[in-house]
């Protein structure tokens, strides 16, 4: 984001003070543009105040506030990474069984000289796009498509990059009839054995099995204001307390934020976002993800494939183990 006011972002409930300052700045800039008054000093002071206000607001967000940021309408989505960060993208379609699920995008991609297979949950911007992509909620054919393309990447000796951003797998009757749970389980099982580097990044929402279906990786990262959870805070509140007003309490209890999961050893790193969230400086945020992915692929590509697969398995065997209670199997 530049230092000028941005009034087109859409404000979250906790951003009321930011909204007020940006409105003041926009009004002052309009006055400056319409008149010959020299108010540069006042503008600079207000810009400094805005920067300070954004920093103060985002310095200590609650878990629920982070969830709200992860869902922000202007947050970069997979389509943005494909169009603005990838130097090349050739989409691959279909699961060769039922059809093509547009909620998951797969294709050959390139960052500079680094070529890889991209697998990503795909959301849309407009209502039409969101309907077409089912709001990022994949059907079983989406997960089967993803696995089929990942096996192709293994055969071609290409690394795999997964961008996770889904509220969860689609829970409809048709999806269940076509084997939703089995498709996700098979993806998780077979991703352990793929003899190629896998890097996964939660760029927004990481909802339960829908996220895990493309989330097994040698390196798993989360963006600073993303979340990763076994259930949505709303669903958790409904089950535990039958009270939607307890959603913020559920978010805290779930330990779903990037710092929480890093402390628990369930992810490998947190990718910092611009102050005020990725929606305020999308290109800065996406370039940070790109740098982290390239660095991880450079590191992983140097490992022998047998070592890569062994360490991947050991990594997940350790996940959630209680010291001194449950030994890690060899």
**What element of type H or E holds 41?**
helix 40-58
Judge whether 92 and 118 are in contact, CB under 8 Å.
no
Q: How far from 65 is each of 57, 161, 176, 274, CA to CA, in Å?
A: 10, 28, 32, 16
Share of the chain above pLDDT 70, in %: 94
Helix 247-254 / helix 233-240 crossing angle, nearest 10 deg = 110
Q: What is the pLDDT of residue 328?
A: 52
Q: What is the dihedral of CA 286, 149, 226, 302, to 10 degrees?
A: -70
* CATH 3.30.300.30 applies to domain 67-318: no
Would the pLDDT of 109 be above 80?
yes
Residue with the bigger pLDDT between 328 and 233: it is: 233
Would the pLDDT of 130 be above 70?
yes
Q: What is the pLDDT of residue 25?
A: 87
The candidate with the shortest Cα–Cα distance to 178, out of 99, 244, 265, is: 99
Q: Of the given ranges (28-42, 65-79, 226-240, 266-280), which has the lowest mean pLDDT?
A: 28-42
- The residue extents of the domains of the chain are 13-60, 67-318
Local confidence band at 36 (pLDDT 50, 70, 90 cut-offs): confident
Would the pLDDT of 29 be above 90?
no
Would the pLDDT of 330 be above 50?
no
Q: What is the pLDDT of residue 11?
A: 85
Q: What is the pLDDT of residue 7?
A: 41
Local confidence band at 44 (pLDDT 50, 70, 90 cut-offs): confident
Q: How far from 172 is each of 30, 178, 213, CA to CA, in Å?
A: 50, 10, 17
Judge whether 164 and 202 are in contact, CB under 8 Å.
yes
Tell me the mean pLDDT in the region 146-158. Answer: 97
The winner for highest mean pLDDT among 6-15, 37-46, 267-276 is 267-276
Would the pLDDT of 329 be above 60?
no
Would the pLDDT of 227 be above 60?
yes
Q: How many whole angstroms separate alpha carbon 60 and alpha carbon 163?
A: 26
Would the pLDDT of 322 be above 90?
no
């Amino acid at each position: 984001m530049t230092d000028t006011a941005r009034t087109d972002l859409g404000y979250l409930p906790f951003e009321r003070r930011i909204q007020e300052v940006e409105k003041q700045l926009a009004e002052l800039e309009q006055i400056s543009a319409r008149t010959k008054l020299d108010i540069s000093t006042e503008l600079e002071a207000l810009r400094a105040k805005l920067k300070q206000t954004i920093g103060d607001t985002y310095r200590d967000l609650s878990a629920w506030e982070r969830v709200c940021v992860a869902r922000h309408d202007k947050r970069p989505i997979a389509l943005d990474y494909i169009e603005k960060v990838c130097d090349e993208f050739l989409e691959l379609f279909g699961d060769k069984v039922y059809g093509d699920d547009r909620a998951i995008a797969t294709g050959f991609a390139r960052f500079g000289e680094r070529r890889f297979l991209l697998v990503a949950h795909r959301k849309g911007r407009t209502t039409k796009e969101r309907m077409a992509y089912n709001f990022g909620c994949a059907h079983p054919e989406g997960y089967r498509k993803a696995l089929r393309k990942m096996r192709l990447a293994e055969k071609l000796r290409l690394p795999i990059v997964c961008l996770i951003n889904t509220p969860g797998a689609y829970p409809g009757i048709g999806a269940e009839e076509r084997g939703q749970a089995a498709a996700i389980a098979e993806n998780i099982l077979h991703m352990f054995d793929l003899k190629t580097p896998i890097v996964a990044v939660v760029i927004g929402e990481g909802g339960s099995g829908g996220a895990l279906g493309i989330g097994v990786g040698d390196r798993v990262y989360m963006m600073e204001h993303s979340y990763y959870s076994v259930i949505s805070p709303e669903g958790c509140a409904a089950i535990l307390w039958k009270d939607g007003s307890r959603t913020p309490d559920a978010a805290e209890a779930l330990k779903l934020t990037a710092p929480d999961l890093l402390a628990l050893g369930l992810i490998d790193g947190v990718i910092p976002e611009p102050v005020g969230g990725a929606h305020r400086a999308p290109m800065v945020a996406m370039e940070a993800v790109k740098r982290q992915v390239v660095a991880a692929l450079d590191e992983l590509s140097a490992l022998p494939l047998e070592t890569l697969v062994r360490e991947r398995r050991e990594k997940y065997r350790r996940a959630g183990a209680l010291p001194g209670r449950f030994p890690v199997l060899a």
